[in-house]
Amino acid sequence: MKTIIIYFAFLISSFAIGSMEAQETTGTKNEHNADSIARVQEIKERKIKIATEEEKEKLKKEIQRINKDLESGWYDKEEAEKRKKEAAKLAAENIKNRIVIIDNQVDMDERNRHGGKYLELKLTDGRLGLGIEESDDYKRAQKRTTNDLVLAFGFNNALADGQSINDSDFKLAGSRFFEIGWAWTTRVFENANWLRVKYGLSFQLNGLKPTDNRYFVQDGDITRLEEFEYDLDKSKFRMDNLVVPVHFEIGPSSRGESNGYRTFSTDDQFKIGFGGYAGFNIGERQKLKFNDGDHQKIKDKSSFNTNDFVYGVSGYLSFGGTALYAKYDLNPIFSSPNTEINNFSLGLRFDID
């Protein structure tokens, strides 16, 4: 019996969806219209305020320009006053015309806005009912935070205090890093996008290839490089980190509007990001390949006395979704009393929507 009742209710609800506009009660319709009118008026007022402020700012700059020309002798006082009045008249006409355009545009958007909403049949607290939900496209226009996939790779190395890249203990071309993560970007200000905070979670792989046929040896608390007894085909030391990066990002963005809300896009724009990261070393390993009459492979997952906590500074210079990326570990690779050497990386970074 319960199944029959639920099925019957579903049929009635489906019929109600197909004929909702014709079946609305006067009270519900009036309430919806009142909410719609109030919301449309709010959108109009917000857009008119923005347009008025923009025209006032243009007028202010034009007055400043005229005053400079007056001071330089380009205009006499009478001509300057005439041009100021013309500029004020133009600003007033622009505001008047933009108000008309805004009224028409918002009214048209309101008539078409139901393309961004849909009816949903919902079962809540044991009750079957109808609800109006916003589609993803409609919600996306209001988002202050976006997210994307982050990929980075390039050259990796490490130096002790006083060392230069020319006398590094690690190969320049052979030592590399890779990073993959997920990042969220939130604009700091509600109606401006020049400053953003980018934060997320990243997995870093930092690889080092020692020079001169050497490899890392752990002797108690000491980790040092020693020459291997056979010719090494491969000697690679890798550290894996899980970190939380945080960057402040500055740069221009293009503006748009959707359903009365401002949207911002940084596509095809220059951006500068600066910040840092902190996290944990979740593993290290050393791979050796050599021939002692037979081809040998050794994988050593000892601790090598590396520091468990990692932190550093990083930054990027990008155009669109492609960036030149650099990072530097402030913590030494190996814990005390070992020689302090710090890992650093330089490469390309891609933010993929």
- Tell me the per-residue pLDDT of 143-154, one tens digit each, with 9 for 90 and over: 788 899 999 999
What is the pLDDT at residue 131? Answer: 53
Alpha-carbon gap, residue 28 to 22, rounded angstroms: 12
Alpha-carbon gap, residue 323 to 332, rounded angstroms: 26
Q: Which residue stretches of the chain have pLDDT < 70?
A: 1-36, 112-142, 257-262
> Would you say 182 and 150 are in contact if contact means Cβ atoms under 8 Å apart?
yes
Rounded to two decimals, the pTM is 0.60
Alpha-carbon gap, residue 253 to 22, rounded angstroms: 45
290 half-sphere exposure, CB direction, 13 A CA radius:
16
What is the pLDDT at residue 262? Answer: 63
Residue 274: beta bridge partners?
A: 248, 315
What is the pLDDT at residue 51? Answer: 87
> Would you say 179 and 203 are in contact if contact means Cβ atoms under 8 Å apart?
yes
In this structure, what are the phi and psi dihedrals at residue 301, rounded to the nearest 5 degrees? -110, 35
Q: What are the chain's domains? A: 2-136 (no CATH), 141-352 (2.40.160.20)
Count of CB atoms within 10 A of residue 234's CB? 13
What is the pLDDT at residue 243? Answer: 98
What is the pLDDT at residue 12? Answer: 40
Which DSSP string corresponds to 154-177?
EEEEEEETT--GGG-SB-TTT-EE
What is the pLDDT at residue 285? Answer: 96
